[in-house]
Structure 1
Amino acid sequence: MRRAMAMARRISHCESAPKETADAVVIGAGVVGIAVARELAIRGRDVLVLESAPTFGTGTSSRNSEVVHAGIYYPLDSFKAKFCVRGRDLLYRYCSERGIPHSKLGKLIVATGTAQIPSLEKLKRRGEENGVEGLKMLDAREAMHMEPELVCVKALLSACSGIVDSHSLMISMLGEAESHKTMVSFNTTIIGGHVEEGKLHLHISETEEIDKSVSASPLRPQLVVIPKLIINAAGLGAVSLAKRFHGLNHRFIPTCYCARGCYFTMSGMKNPFRRLIYPIPEDGGLGVHVTLDLCGSVKFGPDVEWIDSPDETSMLLGRFDYSVDPSRSARFYSEIRKYYPNLKDGSLEPGYAGIRVKLSGPGNPPADFLIQGEETHGLPGLVNLFGIESPGLTSSLAIAEYVASKYSS
């Protein structure tokens, strides 16, 4: 009875708002949302992209390592494994054909002690099972000949790993989407939704209005949009948004956990490496690794700091604490010196931070991407993309291909 009364109140708040129909709505203009919008538009859908921020790619898409992953780390037949391998090939082809800055510079995953060698061998087997080509186990002499500043007892070479200019990639894909008549509305937030006559009605407001009425409960929509297809690609806010879709059974909405990852840059020293250098993966991440940008600058990170989720409105708008605590450098020095002992004191400076919203918490195995359509939750036209963390950038074109093929008939 209480739920029915609450639903009636929410619907009444929408009665005064103007209503519009739409073909396909993509919620979120991160790299995955843009890729999905582009793919849908190329296939002939009329696409509307709604983004709460003033521009595209302000969340995870611009706060990562910009690494093109090979597909080594993920369980066989998982979405992460399949989409990473397929997405990597699509991404390199896309960038080559369109002149998007990228480099297939390779990566070394290193064992710094004999106890880590079995883990390294397991990674090689898993990568090969996933169809990753160009994997080669190196002894210490071979690895350190390739990277003279490196210290290790063994290393796994991934020749097809690389880096990409994610901003240029998103600009290109967004431009292609718009050339196929996709419309993009920034500063536009989905504040909820309700099911009426078998369709999900999206409640929409200007982002600045949410700031003005943050204490109001419930928030009142300025517009109601009724799409045929809805892709929830809201990234950090995807789970919080799904909870606001009244009519979507909450048993299909996963629990999420937040982890902050900080990066530090190196100053006062010459770039020591020509390739990406990764340690053995750790709980919640791939370890404090070496990443090069396309200008050759070095950054280290990210680490993993499990944090409490912010309030619901902040989650919805992607407003997190992205500050980097300089004192975290102490752990960075100790971790980095395991494979790069010549790192000098005082050479690390705070860089930037990113937030990962994960579907598994501390101490648990990493969760797979979760893609939910009507066949799972029973709500026509809604596709939820949950837990799209690393390797989301690498997988973006493959995720778009899958979503468009399966849900846009």
Structure 2
Amino acid sequence: MDILVIGAGIVGLAIARALGLRGHSVIVAEATGGIGNGVSSRNSEVIHAGMYYPSGSLRARHCVAGRRMLYAFCESHGVPHARCGKLIVATNDLEQAKIEGIYEQGIANGVEGLSFLSAAEAKALEPNLACTGAVLSRETGIIDSHALMLALQGDLEAVGGMIAFHSPVERIARAGSGWEVHAGGAEKAVIPVDAVVNSAGLGAQALARATESYPKAEVPRLVLAKGNYFGCLGKPAFSHLIYPAPVEGGLGTHVTLDLAGRMRFGPDVEWVDREDYEVDPRRAESFYASIRRYWPGLPDGALVPDYAGIRPKLTGPGEKAADFMIEGPAEHGLAGLVHLFGIESPGLTSCLSIAEDVAERLGA
């Protein structure tokens, strides 16, 4: 088939690669001038193990399978990564019950390498930590997300696929048994293809509404949840990632490490109505309060604004977190069309598994 994938983020590139490896002719249409310039460039770069998500959900299935696939891909393609592990910590009885539930959910999801630690056992691993107990996830890691995208792009191009930059898709129309994709930019084009995959991240809903014959009532709402990150001056206080018990809309203000060993904190959850990537320095006050619950030794003045990202959520404040939405022909009845909505965390971890799912939905 001739297939057009919209969006050159991590998930779009993984899908294009999977389709290319199956022998299809693949073009990726990307609105910007480079890969990963949207959601993919503004995340924690964490490889998640898969213990947070309801059993049987797309998130659970793709995170666990995708994580195993991703570690193997990193090894075979030389993508920098580290299986550093993480501690999910509790600081009171209510949080203790929460992390016990996370541990049980992880076991139900088939996550390897989980163990429950007492406060003393956790402190033996991380002397700067204050907690009443913790879950140790040995399979959690970190990755160079840009190197991952370059490797996915390399595989795609090696089998003849290509990326068309500065090609924003404006409309998708039926053409016989296939589709015509109308791309804008400096050189407008109409591209006839057999199948289209909408992996446009924050733009996925708008593209679905611009798809001829796709039922507009089926397009889910887009809820923007901004996540702010703060860097930390000084040498790292931890060797594992440190996560508190989850909060509404996210996994709590956690400690992440990059491959250079630098420590940063975030993301928090700030519900917004537009894309805004400025980090308000005043939010540091809430970061200090949150972090000092599990790291009392955080020095005054140590936090500096770093960067922010926007999560493309499908649910808002006070609502149960939605699953990934992958809408293929079986869901909407239109051959050769897949829309992906709400692909936020653990989208990076899940990318290779999501790619296989999309290929199967297309019968590819």
Which TM bucket (shorter chain)? over 0.9
Preserved contact between residue 232 and residue 384 of structure 1 (Cα < 8 Å) = yes
SS in 2 for 1:246: coil
Query: Offset of 1:270 from its aligned partner?
Result: 2.3
Q: Does 1:299 align with 2:240?
A: no
Task: Specify the alignment match of 1:81 in structure 2.
Answer: 60
Preserved contact between residue 177 and residue 194 of structure 2 (Cα < 8 Å) = no
State how far apart, in whole Å, the 1-side matches of 2:15 and 2:235 are. Answer: 40
Deviations 1:19-71 (A, max 9, x none): xxx81000000000000111100100000000001100011111000000000
Task: Specify the alignment match of 1:185 in structure 2.
Answer: 164
Deviations 1:93-130 (A, max 9, x none): 11012211100010000001122111111101100000
State how far apart, in whole Å, the 2-side matches of 1:159 and 1:196 are. Answer: 50
Which runs of structure 2 are paired with 1:21-36 in the superposition (5 Å)? 23-36=2-15
Query: Offset of 1:246 from its aligned partner?
Result: 2.7
Preserved contact between residue 266 and residue 298 of structure 1 (Cα < 8 Å) = yes
Match of 1:266 among 229, 232, 245: 232
State how far apart, in whole Å, the 2-side matches of 1:347 and 1:322 are. Answer: 21
Q: Does 1:390 align with 2:350?
A: no
Task: Specify the alignment match of 1:257 in structure 2.
Answer: 223
Deviations 1:179-236 (A, max 9, x none): 1000111111001122343543211111x68xxxxxxxxxxxx221221111101111
State how far apart, in whole Å, the 2-side matches of 1:194 and 1:134 are. Answer: 48
Counterpart amino acid of residue 296 in structure 1: G
Task: Specify the alignment match of 1:233 in structure 2.
Answer: 199
Which runs of structure 2 are paired with 1:49-198 in the superposition (5 Å)? 49-198=28-177
Task: Specify the alignment match of 1:4 in structure 2.
Answer: none
Task: Specify the alignment match of 1:317 in structure 2.
Answer: none
Task: Specify the alignment match of 1:367 in structure 2.
Answer: 322
Alignment gaps of 5+ in structure 2: none
Q: Per the alignment, do residues 399 and 92 of structure 1 end up closer, same or farther by CA in structure 2, a change over 3 Å counting?
A: same
Deviations 1:118-175 (A, max 9, x none): 1111101100000001111101000011000100000000010000111101101101
State how far apart, in whole Å, the 1-side matches of 2:124 and 2:255 are. Answer: 18
Which runs of structure 2 are paired with 1:182-221 in the superposition (5 Å)? 182-206=161-185
Counterpart amino acid of residue 319 in structure 2: N
Deviations 1:258-317 (A, max 9, x none): 0110000001x2210000000011111101000000010000000000011x4xxxxxxx
Task: Specify the alignment match of 2:362 in structure 1.
Answer: 407
Deviations 1:353-383 (A, max 9, x none): 0000101111111111101111211222110
Give the RMSD, CA atoms, in angstroms.
1.2
Query: Offset of 1:86 from its aligned partner?
Result: 0.4
Task: Specify the alignment match of 2:294 in structure 1.
Answer: 339
Counterpart amino acid of residue 57 in structure 1: G
SS in 2 for 1:306: strand
State how far apart, in whole Å, the 1-side matches of 2:167 and 2:357 are. Answer: 26
SS in 1 for 2:194: strand
State how far apart, in whole Å, the 1-side matches of 2:14 and 2:175 are. Answer: 29
State how far apart, in whole Å, the 1-side matches of 2:93 and 2:323 are. Answer: 30
SS in 1 for 2:168: strand
Q: Does 1:325 align with 2:280?
A: yes
Which runs of structure 2 are paired with 1:280-299 in the superposition (5 Å)? 280-299=245-264
Preserved contact between residue 40 and residue 408 of structure 1 (Cα < 8 Å) = no
SS in 2 for 1:245: coil
Preserved contact between residue 151 and residue 340 of structure 1 (Cα < 8 Å) = yes
SS in 1 for 2:116: strand
Counterpart amino acid of residue 258 in structure 2: D
SS in 2 for 1:277: strand
State how far apart, in whole Å, the 2-side matches of 1:397 and 1:379 are. Answer: 24
Size of the aligned set, in residue pairs, is 364
Instruction: Flag the structure with larger Rg.
Output: 1
Task: Specify the alignment match of 1:314 in structure 2.
Answer: none
